[in-house]
Amino acid sequence: MSTTLAYAAQNPQAPMAPFEIQRRAVGPDDVKIDILYCGVCHSDLHTARNEWKNTLYPSVPGHEIIGKVVAVGANVSAFKVGDVAGVGCMVDSCSHCASCAEGLEQYCENGFTGTYNGPVFGGENTHGGYSDNIVVDQKFVLRIRHADNLAAVAPLLCAGITTYSPLRQWKVGPGQKVGVVGLGGLGHMAVKIASAMGAHVVLFTTSPNKRADALRLGAAEVVVSKNAEEMAAHVNSFDFILNTVAAPHPLDPFLALLKRDATMTLVGAPESPHPSPDVFGLIFKRRRIAGSLIGGIAETQEMLDFCAEHGIVSDIEMIPIQSINQAYERMLRSDVKYRFVIDMASLK
């Protein structure tokens, strides 16, 4: 075991503050990573404040981790000391259920272990990337092929894969009109990735001042979702919509924009449910609502390689760990341009 500096929430009301955690000794299949950068996901905030009612305290969030390998176990050949490596939202799964066998560890039927707040299904708590280092089984360590700008690569480990996976699952590509709802951490990655896949991307926002940014990030059109007239111009026209909003909101105005048989996939995970959809809106067009959870390890590697090939990184605002509480407040005001990333050197 080694004592490691971290930032933790001690209870739902407490601000994030310095805390010491223990990391396990490096086992034969483990990779130890000194953390350089960690992205700030809205899930970190949901968890730190117990909004999903399952937080184990003390809670050290962070699942968009980029760092340098500083030690490897005897069985590890894919990583060596000095490599840049990534860790995303999971650090373990059962590895023998049907989902794990298909490389869909995020749907592990025995419950995957999250990078933080891991043992929702039992076991010891896990601590995430708001810390100096992490020890992870090699199966859950990702290879980083981006040559530089590593801080901006960190958000791919959650925001990137959470949007890439449903875009692939619903076969987004050229000739399709694809909506992205919400221009935050996930939304801005969805805009970049869906446009790189060749789709005609329409960004829906509640923040009219994000219009120019959305176009710069790759959207072909921007719709202010509170403007009924702008929304009406798109009725029955979308092949797919990816909804990334972190707060409960009416889904019907977006469902009405889907073509017959088209799908809106929800990835946002708000504290309380969305108002129920209008069933007539669904049945008269055989429209679908779906959900999607992060992505498996193989698909996360595929996404990282896709982004490296297409020159895609996140648009980030770098912060020292000491500013994390202010960053959370700005995230709640939709004032993120477009992902906070913690420079972990500030912890030392």
Interface contacts to Zn ion, rule CB under 5 A? 41, 43, 158
170-185 burial, b for 16+ CB within 10 Å, e for fewer? Answer: bebeeebbbbbbbbbb
189-215 burial, b for 16+ CB within 10 Å, e for fewer? Answer: bbbbbbbbbebbbbbbbebeebbebbe
- Identify whether 320 is preceded by a cis peptide bond (ω within 30 of 0): no
Q: Please, which residue, 76 or 223, has the CB nearer to ligand NAP? A: 223
243 binds ligand NAP (CB under 6 A): no
Task: Give phi and psi for 200, each to the nearest 5.
Answer: -90, 110
**Contact window for ligand NAP (CB under 6 A) among 67-75, 191-199, 243-251, 277-285:** 243-251
Binding characters for ligand NAP, 168-187, by CB under 6 A (x = yes): --------------xxxxxx
210 binds ligand NAP (CB under 6 A): yes
27-49 burial, b for 16+ CB within 10 Å, e for fewer? Answer: eeebbbbebbbbbbbbbbbbbbb
Q: List the beta bridge partners of residue 241.
A: 179, 264
Three-state SS annotation for 49-99: CCCCCCCCCCECCCCCEEEEEEEECCCCCCCCCCCEEEECCEEECCCCCHH
Q: Please, which residue, 4 or 263, has the CB nearer to ligand NAP? A: 263
Q: Please, which residue, 58 or 295, has the CB nearer to ligand NAP? A: 295
Give the one residue of 154, 156, 158, 199 binding ligand NAP; rule: CB under 6 A. 158
258 binds ligand NAP (CB under 6 A): no
Give the one residue of 321, 336, 342, 347 binding ligand NAP; rule: CB under 6 A. 336
206 binds ligand NAP (CB under 6 A): yes
Binding partner of residue 336 among Zn ion, ligand NAP, none, CB cut-off 5 to 8 Å per kind: ligand NAP
Task: Give phi and psi for 309, each to the nearest 5.
Answer: -65, -40
Sign of the torsion formed by the C-alpha atoms of 242, 246, 251 and 256: negative
Q: Please, which residue, 58 or 114, has the CB nearer to ligand NAP? A: 114
**Minimum CB distance to ligand NAP, residue 205 (Å):** 3
Helix (H, G, I), strand (E, B) or coil at 43: helix
Size of the site for ligand NAP (CB under 6 A): 31
**Contact window for ligand NAP (CB under 6 A) among 17-25, 228-236, 254-262, 268-276:** 268-276
Task: Give phi and psi for 251, each to the nearest 5.
Answer: -90, -25
46 binds ligand NAP (CB under 6 A): yes
Tokens 């739902």 found at: 12
Task: Let me know: does 73 contact 28? Beta carbons within 8 Å.
Answer: yes
Nearest residue to ligand NAP on Cβ basis: 184
Binding partner of residue 186 among Zn ion, ligand NAP, none, CB cut-off 5 to 8 Å per kind: ligand NAP
**Minimum CB distance to Zn ion, residue 269 (Å):** 9
Binding characters for ligand NAP, 288-307, by CB under 6 A (x = yes): ----xxx-------------
**Minimum CB distance to ligand NAP, residue 72 (Å):** 29
CA angle centred on 173, ends 213 and 241, rounded to 5°:
60
**Minimum CB distance to ligand NAP, residue 25 (Å):** 31
- Picking from 117, 124, 164, 167, the residue whose alpha carbon sits closest to that of residue 142 is 164
- The site for ligand NAP (CB under 6 A) is made up of 41-43, 46, 158, 162, 182-187, 205-207, 210, 244-247, 249, 267-270, 292-294, 331, 334, 336
